[in-house]
Amino acid sequence: MRIDIEEVACTVLGLEYEDYEEADDCTEQIENILIDEMNIDLDTLEQIVSKLLPTIDVGKSPLTGNMYKGFSRKLIKGSYIVKKWIAQTQIDE
């Protein structure tokens, strides 16, 4: 799994990565803003993103036909494995 954590940080912070990527101290600049805004460093953000990525899911509601994206977890119900949304948002089409 490859994570461009500087670009992820910029997205989370609402910054344009292209404004920083050519700078010699790109990583340091982005990390300083991340620390100021969210009180975490790039390593911590990368650990969080790495743990969240496997829980991302996309699914269609069988009742409404609406598409959703979000975080889910697997549950065992009898002999079935089902997924339960933890957090979701509707995908605008």
**Paired strand residues for 82:** 75
Run means of pLDDT, 10 residues per run, the chain, 93 residues:
92 96 94 97 97 94 93 92 93 82
Q: What pLDDT shows up at residue 7? A: 96
Q: How far apart are CA 57 and CA 91, in angstroms?
A: 12
Q: What pLDDT shows up at residue 2? A: 82
Domain boundaries, the chain: 5-52, 54-90
Residue 54 structure tokens? 């496997």
Q: What is the DSSP letter of 11?
A: H
